Structures are given as C-alpha cells and as structure tokens.
Amino acid sequence: MTRFVLGLTGGIGMGKSTTAQMFADEGIPVWDADSTVHRLYSAGGAAVAPLSEVFPRAVVNGSIDRSVLKAEIAADPSVLKRLEGIVHPLVAQDRMAFLAGSEADIVLLDIPLLFEGTSADLCDGVAVVSVPQAVQRARVLARGTMTEADLDRILANQMPDAEKRARATWVIDTSTLDGAREKVRAILSEIRASLKHA
C-alpha cells in the first residue's frame, strides 16, 4: 500500500470537527463531507442548477436554502431519496477529485455518516471519535441550537456509538484535547510505520 485513506467519523457532538482539525494541524490533507455539501449548495455550486429543476422554491439568492429542503422533506419523506439521488453523486465526485489530486501518503475523509453509507469501503482504516453519552448530550445542548427532543431525533437516525466503536480501527476518546491530540499522533505514527513496512 502506498497511500493510506483514513476515515474519521462519530456521532453528533463527539468532537469530530475538532479532531479533524488536529489531523490537519499534523499536515494531513482533509476532505470534509459537510463542508463539501455546503459548497455544492452555495451560489455557483454544482448542486444549485440540478436541484433548482426539482425544488425550484429551494433556490434563494442563487444558493440552496436548507430550511426549504427540510420543510419539503417533512411534508413528503420521499423527497429525501430524490434529493440524495442528486447530491450524493456530486459529493462522491468531489471526494474522488480530492483523492486523485492529493499525493500525500495519508489523507483523511471526515464523514459524519461514514458507516451508515458506503464510504467505509474507500477507507483503509477508520477512526471513531467518542465520549460517554452524558458528555455528548451536554456538549450538543450547550450549543443552544437544539432542544433535547431535536437531539433525540438526530440520535435515533445515527448508528449507536457502541456499534461505531465496534467497527472502528481506532477509537479517539475526546474527553480532553490533550488526550485526543496524543491519540491522533499515535494513529499517524502507526500508519506511517505500516506504510514503511508495506
């Protein structure tokens, strides 16, 4: 193996974004699924034209307004499948361009629903960020952007943390920043050693 594709995932509030930044700080190129979707939805993004044909009301000032899509999905759950049918191929294309364009020996794919979809197939190993559930809930609710009921709904749609950890190559405990950074460095050393011996 000449290059290691490392996946990073974890439930909401588990510290995925913070940990992805730690990998970036160590010089690892990072592809971020969430920010890719934001870019595709923003003015001039590749998803705007195809989505405007199916969901004309979702285009506001030249970009896709997520709240309109959310309302359409709430009114008709079959909308989600149609939406994914348009957006997923564009996201996959962007990810392929990232992988093709990067010559680094280790690259990171930061994907919230990595195990829920098929992205794990692209990864040589997956790191799962995790903290005890009480810490997760406290972190998310501290943001002040959602109620407990909102959080419960989101968690019900995500694979349980225990199952993610069971599938992980590495688990990164994000209880402390120092502990997480230490684990990030240990994972990278392990991968580098395995690449050397490959």
17 is in an annotated binding site: yes
Residue 10 vs 45, nearer CB to ligand ADP: 10
Phi and psi at 180, nearest 5°, equal: -65, -45
Q: Is 15 in the site for ligand ADP (CB under 6 A)?
A: yes
**Which residue among 49, 54, 177, 186 contacts ligand ADP (CB under 6 A)?**
177
Q: How far is the CB of 138 from ligand ADP (least distance, A)?
A: 9
Task: Restricting to residues 18-37, name those near ligand ADP by CB under 6 A.
Answer: 18
- Supply the DSSP string of 113-146, one letter for each residue: TTTTSSGGGG-SEEEEEE--HHHHHHHHHHTTSS
Closest among 125, 120, 46, 27 to 86, alpha carbons compared = 46
Q: At what angle do helices 66-75 and 78-101 cross, to 10 degrees?
A: 140
User: If binding is defined by CB under 6 A, does position 180 make contact with ligand ADP?
Assistant: yes
According to CB under 6 A, which one of 7, 8, 9, 16 is a site residue for ligand ADP?
16
How many residues sit close enough to ligand ADP to count as binding (CB under 6 A)? 13
Beta strand residue intervals within the chain, DSSP E:
4-9, 30-32, 59-60, 63-64, 106-110, 125-130, 170-173
Give the Cβ contact number of residue 12 at 10 Å.
Answer: 17
Q: Would the annotation count 18 as a binding residue?
A: yes
Residue selected from 8, 174, 183, 184 as contacting ligand ADP according to rule CB under 6 A: 174
**Which residue's CB atom is positioned nearest to ligand ADP?**
15
8 Å CB contact between 64 and 48: yes
Which of these, 61, 34, 29, lies nearest to 48 by C-alpha position?
61
Tokens 């694979």 belong to 159
In the block, residue with structure tokens 């559930």: 133
Closer residue to ligand ADP in complex, CB, 7/15: 15
- Is 17 a binder of ligand ADP (CB under 6 A)? yes
Q: Is 14 in the site for ligand ADP (CB under 6 A)?
A: yes
CB-wise, 95 or 181, nearer to ligand ADP? Answer: 181
**What residues between 119 and 158 interact with ligand ADP by CB under 6 A?**
139
* Binding-site residues for ATP: 13-18
* Binding-site residues: 13-18
Binding positions for ligand ADP, rule: CB under 6 A: 10, 12-18, 139, 174, 176-177, 180
